[in-house]
Amino acid sequence: MGLFLGGMLAHVGPMTKQATRYSATAMLLHWAIALMLIFNFGLGERAEELSRGPERLWVMGLHKSIGITILLLSLWRLGLRLTTPRPAKVQDSGLFQGLSTAVHWGFYLVMIVVPLSGWVLVSTSRVINPILLFDVVPWPHLPNWGHDVHEVAEEVHGILAKAMLGLLALHVIGAIRHQFLLKDALVERMVPARRVGIIGFAVLIASLGLAFVAAENLPAPTQPQPGAPLQDFQSAQKAVPTADGPPLAVNIEKPEASAKH
């Protein structure tokens, strides 16, 4: 919500006639995909730091689910771009126009090829695990094209995921240049607000940063708190039924306590 509320803050200077807005659907897709890209990048970085276990399994499950969602939303957005009118380009030099076009199509490459390569990774893994989006929706595997394809997909996935950071930096710098140096109200095209000021723009960028922080710190549903016993240990402490009498309570003492008896 911060992405939309941030746009309500004032901006000095009127909007130009060229600052025609994108549709509400395009706005929603733009910001939803942006937040999910950053969040999913954070999940990927988090998974790299985890050893095998329940938390990593949960993180990767969520990473796959969001990746497929990004793929579907990006195809929808690309279809809108190719079939519906868009605001006219702002006046700028040929160099900056070309750079802007390259960055935008670079994002489409990331938005579509990164989740596709991740899908290939899962489908060509040595151990094929089911894909269940958000633990609810079953998703099919692609054909298993072998280990060589798996390695190529892994390289492409990692390189393009990192390239997204460079594209994002260029995108933000370009937005700052247009919004506050050229003052052509470019940002207002993609937010449901009449004006966006410095504070509002900062809130938009901070929202992306918060998505990354959330991905790094979101607790796994089954992750035990520090010092808490594992679920299997808790189950072992419950009553154990016997063949000829009432249940016996299991009392597992700590090693140092047992040594005293």
Q: Walk along the chain (261 residues) in steps of 10 and give the mean pLDDT of each run.
A: 35 40 90 96 92 89 96 95 83 84 94 96 88 92 92 94 94 90 84 83 92 92 56 46 48 44 43
Cβ contact 15:38 at 8 Å: no
pLDDT at residue number 188:
83
pLDDT at residue number 169:
94
pLDDT at residue number 88:
79
Domains of the chain, each with CATH number or no CATH: 2-227 (1.20.950)
φ/ψ of residue 137, rounded to 5: -100, 120
Helix axis angle, 147-176 to 198-217, nearest 10°: 150
d(CA 242, CA 260): 28
pLDDT at residue number 11:
34
Helix axis angle, 24-49 to 198-217, nearest 10°: 40
pLDDT at residue number 253:
45
If one counts every other C-beta atom within 10 angstroms of the C-beta of residue 97, the result is 13
pLDDT at residue number 193:
78
Containing 132, the helix (H) or strand (E) segment is strand 131-133
pLDDT at residue number 194:
78
Cβ contact 221:58 at 8 Å: yes
d(CA 6, CA 16): 20
Cβ contact 156:117 at 8 Å: yes
Torsion 72-211-169-1 (CA) sign: positive
